[in-house]
Amino acid sequence: MVWERCGRQAQGDGYLVVLEPGTDETRVVPRLLDGLAHGLAEANDGTPGAAGGPVGEDSAHPRPIRMRASLHQGIVHEADSGYAGSAVVDLFRVLDSGPVRRALDAFPDTHLVVAFSDSLHRDLVGAGYAGLPAGGFTRAEIEVAAKNFTGVAWIRAVHHAPPPPTSPSRSE
């Protein structure tokens, strides 16, 4: 994935990334999730409350950065107001849903919770691609009555794994 060729759009306090056509999701999605989890863990390293410690309301004890992410696939097009299409609408309906918000609350030891659309979960996780283990996903019925939206998402906390230790170099 070449970052400069991805579509990007600020969405309030969020960010929409549209992968370029032809991207190999089987390679990009695991790396993206690992990178996000690593970046959040690194940003929160040493932050009071980041590992479940006490968090104050003042700036001396900032809250750790925690994030919900939603991944979906489908047709997207550029419009006057930015990226549009039913895939974009569905993505944000899932991202802002109660089940995804509650999942972030339910995993206070993680900085990232991700929701895959049903079709993306079936295509990537269900097919058993490397880096996308089926374990840890929970199926959730998503309903946003005010928007007449129903769907299925697969939600999982993404835990940051520390990099493997490096072998000491040998000098002769």
Confidence (pLDDT) at 4: 84
| Chain-centroid distance, C-alpha 167 | 31
Residue 117 pLDDT > 50: yes
Which tokens go with 34? 């690992």
Q: Which amino acid is at 13?
A: D
Confidence (pLDDT) at 3: 80
Q: Which residues contact 60 (CB under 8 A, 6 or more apart)?
A: none
On whether the CB atoms of residues 103 and 113 are closer than 8 A, the answer is: yes
Domain boundaries, the chain: 3-46+65-158
Q: Which amino acid is at 49?
A: G
Confidence (pLDDT) at 109: 87
On whether the CB atoms of residues 19 and 2 are closer than 8 A, the answer is: no
Mean pLDDT in residue range 69-93:
95
